[in-house]
Chain A
Amino acid sequence: MSQYNFKKITVVPTAKDFIDIILSKTQRKTPTVVHRGYKISRIRGFYTRKVKFCQQSYHDKLTMIITDFPKLEDIHPFYADLMNVLYDKDHYKLALGQMNTARHLIDSVAKDYVRLLKYGDSLYRCKQLKRAALGRMCTIMKRQKQSLEYLEEVRQHLSRLPSIDPNNRTLLITGFPNVGKSSFINKITRADVEVQPYAFTTKSLYVGHTDYKYLRWQVIDTPGLLDHSLEERNTIEMQAITALAHIRAAVLFIMDISEQCGHSLEQQISLFKNIKPLFTNKPLIIVINKIDILTMDDLPPEKKELFTEFEESSIPIICMSTLTEVGVMEVRSEACDRLLIQRVESKIRSKKVQGVAHRLRVAMPEKRDTTERDIELEMGDDYSLDLRKRWDLANEEEKYDVLPEIWNGHNVADFIDPDIMTKLEELEKEEELREKAGFYNDDTEEEDEEMQDLRKTARKIRNKRMLKTLESREKKGIKTKFPRTGKKVDKADIENTMAELGIEIQNKSKTHYATQNNERSRSTSRRAIKRKREESEVARSGSRSVSRKREKSAHRTLSITPRDKSGMRDEKMAKKAKKLAKAAVGPMHRQGIFETDRRIAVKKPKHLFSGKRKMKADRR
């Protein structure tokens, strides 16, 4: 593969630098400490490592240099020849060969000394061996000083070579020195080549790029050629010759008609004849430059005769002036066209094209007699665009029907189907079947009166429950009164609720709740009960005064039924209530644990026991 970019070659250090780099690397990257008292194997290993490391580094760096520099056999012959011209092939190869031998020598030195180190019996001896090894390797490198310098120069020059693609479309400009080659390239490309009145201003090849017919073209400016034999040519001219020899390009041979370059037309033509062999198989154009000074017509007839030769051999002659830019573009177009033709022809002849050629097809549009536009122009104002006139329908009358698009939130177009009627029939059949099967029957039985009543009562019950819950919610926030005094019962309330529930209360005047509120309306039977109690108490205590006092003062307090007996129908109910009360207390109370006692829900919460202690009081 031809490589035309030599910018990636590693920098070649000078001999001194090379040695410094490697030695400092060895010092840094290997262990540095060793003592006399260590085991001998450890000491040997230490020094062996140093020798081997140094050898390895040298080897790697030299390998990199050798592989980075291009091999003259592997690159395009144009570049190989150019490099030969510039750097002398033999010298180049020799230098690289020297690198190779140096590498080999360093390897063998290291091998020998490593072998010797295996038998080193003291730190001092091992150290001396390592010193000798490293010293020898560095001496080898010191001897390569010249080669290294040369290679560095070559590298720098190589990286500055213009990137010429030998296979791309190229225009090559040749001629005597000072005829106007560099001015021409400056005109057609963006290259900025130095233009000076003295000869050999251009000392190397320059590349510029230009566009023509949507393609990129390389334009190569060469140093001027003088009319002598190949052997006498110097390095600069040889570059031009190399370019001419190896690159398949269109050649523009520029001649100075005004002879201001310092050479006559005859001399220029004789040069042309000399290098003619290089122009075989290349499209050639003779370009006459500097016609602003002297035109073709002003030439005396003898000079004109010189050009008839070219006309006979059908080489085109174009006149131009780089100063006034007359004919410059013509020259470029002519050269490009000729080169393109030649390249296309050669490609067609090659085998690759056959595979592609039969796949190419160019479509040409047919000619029509009258277009819609023609009709429009003809009719002028009367014209109206009627898109339906070319419609191809079964029935011509239907062309101008007004179509409904939407019906009841559906697109009519979504239902269009040639088989719609058959499908509809199937659907209707299915629907009939379903009706017959009783799919659409209403199975719900009419509810009888009993059921309706039941529903009503259920509704009533639900309402009642809702009311009760609302009542209890209202009570929720209210604090219980302490000490708990007897609740005053509203007579009307009790009577109402009982009436709602359907219970008739007999003897309303004699009821419990009625007498409770009304002290005067106490029955005698009640009193009798109380008296009995007092008597028993007297028997127990045995003091009359106390009982008397109690008689007078304790009437009211004793009239309120004790809490555990109020609201109970009988003994049995009272006992059950007591039992339930005990059960309702809960396991905690029975154990003696009450709500207000302090309790720790989580003994060891994680957030207080994990993590480091900081200057915060958030840990236990």
Chain B
Amino acid sequence: MRLEKCYFCSSTVHPGHGIHFVRNDCKVFKFCRGKCHKAFKKRKNPRKSRWTKAYRKATGKDLAVDPSFEFEKKRNIPVKYSRELWNNTLVAMKRVEEIRLKRQGQHIINRLKEGKKLRKEADIREVDKHIHLIRAPGAKAPVFEKKMVEVIMADDDDEDMEGN
């Protein structure tokens, strides 16, 4: 039993799902669902379809090159079974997964940092230019607030009165 990778969107194809297509030149294409299969038949390039992992890696939106990816590789030469090796592998797998996720997350945070800065600057500019829509120059607090303050004060007085 093996979990495959969809050729188009790179998601996992679980057993019993999807379609395997074998081409005349003996290359096998595995698809997770009809969407990917149809896109392939329409000769779409996964590196250009925005929602695929291939696009994300190609345009640098997701982490693509990292030593933590080297651990998971389909090996064609079988290794003789030994219990110790498999136990070690299971432990190592978990740790590698943690590290990989952490690094992926950091990659995305780094990518989005620039945007944060720009948005901050845009806010400052916005306020500079269009403050007149909210507040007239020379005015202090808006009149409503003053009224509200009066109302609250009145309530307080009432409460005091009642309390007393």
A: residues with CB less than 8 A from B are 391-395, 398, 401, 403-418, 420-421, 423-424, 426-428, 430-431, 439-440, 443-444, 451, 454-455, 457-458, 460-462, 464-465, 468, 498-504
A613 to chain B, nearest CB (A): 45
Which residues of chain B in 87-125 are interfacial with respect to chain A, using CB atoms and an 8 Å cutoff?
A: 88-90, 92-93, 95-97, 99, 102, 106, 113, 116, 120, 122-124
Chain B hits for A398, CB < 8 A: 81-83
Chain A hits for B42, CB < 8 A: none
Besides A410-B93, A465-B130, A503-B139, 6 more A-B contacts (Cβ < 8 Å) are A403-B81, A412-B90, A457-B131, A464-B130, A500-B134, A501-B136
Closest chain A residue to B142 by CB distance? A502
On whether the beta carbons of B93 and A412 are closer than 8 Å, the reply is: yes
Within 8 Å of chain A (Cβ to Cβ): is B10?
no
A411-B3, A416-B75 are contacts. A460–B134 as well, Cβ < 8 Å? yes
On whether the beta carbons of B67 and A415 are closer than 8 Å, the reply is: no
Query: A407–B73 Cα gap in the complex (Å)?
Result: 15
A406-B3, A412-B90, A415-B71 are contacts. A458–B123 as well, Cβ < 8 Å? yes
Per-position binary interface string of chain B over residues 126-145, scored 1 when its CB falls under 8 Å from any chain A CB and 0 otherwise: 11001101111001111110
Total inter-chain residue pairs, C-beta < 8 Å: 143
Chain B hits for A500, CB < 8 A: 134, 142-144
Within 8 Å of chain A (Cβ to Cβ): is B80?
yes
Chain A hits for B68, CB < 8 A: 427
7 examples of A-B residue contacts, CB within 8 angstroms: A394-B82, A409-B3, A417-B79, A424-B96, A454-B123, A457-B134, A502-B139
On whether the beta carbons of B82 and A444 are closer than 8 Å, the reply is: no
B: residues with CB less than 8 A from A are 1-3, 12, 67-68, 70-75, 79-83, 85-86, 88-90, 92-93, 95-97, 99, 102, 106, 113, 116, 120, 122-124, 126-127, 130-131, 133-136, 139-144
A147 to chain B, nearest CB (A): 60
Question: Which of A417, A454, A503 makes the CB contact (< 8 A) with B75?
Answer: A417
Chain B hits for A460, CB < 8 A: 134
Query: A401–B83 Cα gap in the complex (Å)?
Result: 8
On whether the beta carbons of B96 and A421 are closer than 8 Å, the reply is: no
Best-surrounded residue of A403, A414, A498 (most CB of chain B within 10 A): A414
Closest chain A residue to B83 by CB distance? A398
B61 to chain A, nearest CB (A): 19
A414-B75, A417-B75, A499-B143 are contacts. A430–B85 as well, Cβ < 8 Å? no
A398-B83, A420-B71 are contacts. A464–B127 as well, Cβ < 8 Å? no
Query: A440–B99 Cα gap in the complex (Å)?
Result: 12
Question: Which of A413, A430, A464 makes the CB contact (< 8 A) with B133?
Answer: A464
Chain A hits for B74, CB < 8 A: 411, 414
A471 to chain B, nearest CB (A): 13
On whether the beta carbons of A464 and B143 are closer than 8 Å, the reply is: no
Chain B hits for A409, CB < 8 A: 3, 12
Chain A hits for B70, CB < 8 A: 423
On whether the beta carbons of B81 and A393 are closer than 8 Å, the reply is: yes
On whether the beta carbons of A458 and B127 are closer than 8 Å, the reply is: yes
Chain B hits for A394, CB < 8 A: 80, 82
Chain A hits for B140, CB < 8 A: 502
Best-surrounded residue of A401, A460, A468 (most CB of chain B within 10 A): A460
Chain A hits for B2, CB < 8 A: 405, 411, 413
On whether the beta carbons of A395 and B82 are closer than 8 Å, the reply is: yes
Chain A hits for B75, CB < 8 A: 413-414, 416-417
On whether the beta carbons of B3 and A427 are closer than 8 Å, the reply is: no
On whether the beta carbons of B85 and A418 are closer than 8 Å, the reply is: yes
A316 to chain B, nearest CB (A): 55
A406-B3, A412-B89, A502-B140 are contacts. A461–B131 as well, Cβ < 8 Å? yes
Question: Which of A421, A440, A458, A499 makes the CB contact (< 8 A) with B102?
Answer: A440
Chain A hits for B106, CB < 8 A: 439-440
Query: A398–B19 Cα gap in the complex (Å)?
Result: 36
Chain B hits for A464, CB < 8 A: 130, 133-134
Chain A hits for B73, CB < 8 A: 414
On whether the beta carbons of B83 and A457 are closer than 8 Å, the reply is: no
B114 to chain A, nearest CB (A): 12
Query: A409–B97 Cα gap in the complex (Å)?
Result: 11
Closest chain A residue to B133 by CB distance? A464
Chain B hits for A405, CB < 8 A: 1-2
On whether the beta carbons of A454 and B127 are closer than 8 Å, the reply is: yes
Query: A455–B127 Cα gap in the complex (Å)?
Result: 8
A421-B88, A430-B67 are contacts. A461–B134 as well, Cβ < 8 Å? yes
